[in-house]
Structure 1
Amino acid sequence: MASAAFEDIAETFEFLDDWEDRYRHVIELGKAMPGLDDAVKVPATKVDGCASQVWFLPRIEGQGPGARFDFDGDSDAMIVRGLIAILKALYSGLSVDEVLRVDAAVEMGRLGLDKHLSSQRSNGLKSMIGRINALAGAAKG
């Protein structure tokens, strides 16, 4: 169920043999992603459960299960910005119903992130995925 953008990332990860190269690629994805304006970095957009500062700004087009999901995100840590970019590739453009059906652990596992992130980063990634599911669930109604 992964988007074409996520499939591109997965293909790149298959090509990169060394985890250090993959790590650098995640950071590059984060650097390429536009940040959020400081005005929207408020408690309502902050993702709890992350060691770094993380903010998500959802954009939902439409109503009900077919509403289209997208979000912008930002972090004060480059690796986390890269993880946000990967999550954007995984979820953006899906309906809120599809978002709720994504098995993020399996999809992210395809990248090998589950084996190479620190426990703090893994917990933060789970918190980000939980926030995405909560936003989609609220939009679904």
Structure 2
Amino acid sequence: MTLPASAQQALEAFGQCPGWEQRARLLMQWGERLAPLSEDERCEANRVQGCESQVWLIGERAGQHWQFRASSDARLLRGLLALLLTRVNGLAQAELAQLDLPDWFTQLGLARQLSPSRSNGLQAVLIRMQQLLDAADQGVTDH
């Protein structure tokens, strides 16, 4: 599976960071790239269950490919979400289903810094993405 160009940029940027402090700074900068969600979008229907922090996720399908938008009230988590979206946006459903998320964060050099709660939160986001995909397949929407 080939990486989207933005995911390749992320790998290169994080690969140049010698230590965790630089990665944490870069992570927060990536988080600032997330497009803000409107107040209406930050609703209970879009909230990801299973995250300690508040996380909202919206998915839209364009043909066979998916675009996700997300936000969180936690700065580090926003960065992790930005990196997750960098990896998944534009993928087809079959590619999303095969994505190895822990491997992606390992490649970025961030896996060891993911606390169990952050790791569980990202897993919850991935589960929510899958639920959105499944619902779209069945012609069901949350609204």
| Match in the other structure for 1:93 | 90
**Number of residue pairs matched by the alignment:** 137
| Residue 129 (structure 1) aligned with residue 126 (structure 2) | yes
After TM superposition, the structure 1 = structure 2 runs for residues 1-141 of structure 1, keeping only pairs within 5 Å, are: 1=1, 2-62=3-63, 67-141=64-138
Q: Provide the C-alpha distance between the structure 1 equivalents of 2:38 and 2:93, rounded to a whole number of angstroms.
A: 25
The RMSD of aligned alpha carbons is 1.4
Q: Provide the C-alpha distance between the structure 2 equivalents of 1:140 and 1:111, rounded to a whole number of angstroms.
A: 32
Asked whether the equivalents of residues 74 and 84 of structure 1 are also in contact (C-alpha less than 8 Å), the reply is yes
- The range that moved more, 125-134 or 5-14, is 125-134
User: What is the DSSP-based 3-state SS (H/G/I as helix, E as strand, rest coil) of the residue aligned with 1:74?
Assistant: strand
User: What is the DSSP-based 3-state SS (H/G/I as helix, E as strand, rest coil) of the residue aligned with 2:61?
Assistant: strand
Post-superposition Cα deviations, 1:24-79, rounded to whole Å, max 9, x if no partner, equal 111111112221001111111000111110000111113xxxx1101111111111
TM-score normalised by structure 2 residue count:
0.88
Unaligned 5+ runs, structure 2: 139-143
Asked whether the equivalents of residues 36 and 74 of structure 1 are also in contact (C-alpha less than 8 Å), the reply is yes
TM-score normalised by structure 1 residue count:
0.90
Q: Provide the C-alpha distance between the structure 1 equivalents of 2:137 and 2:20, rounded to a whole number of angstroms.
A: 37
Asked whether the equivalents of residues 51 and 120 of structure 1 are also in contact (C-alpha less than 8 Å), the reply is yes
Aligned AA for 1:33? L
Q: Provide the C-alpha distance between the structure 2 equivalents of 1:112 and 1:140, rounded to a whole number of angstroms.
A: 34
Q: Percent identity?
A: 34
Unaligned 5+ runs, structure 1: none
Q: Provide the C-alpha distance between the structure 2 equivalents of 1:105 and 1:134, rounded to a whole number of angstroms.
A: 19
Q: Which structure's residues are more often helix, by fraction?
A: 1
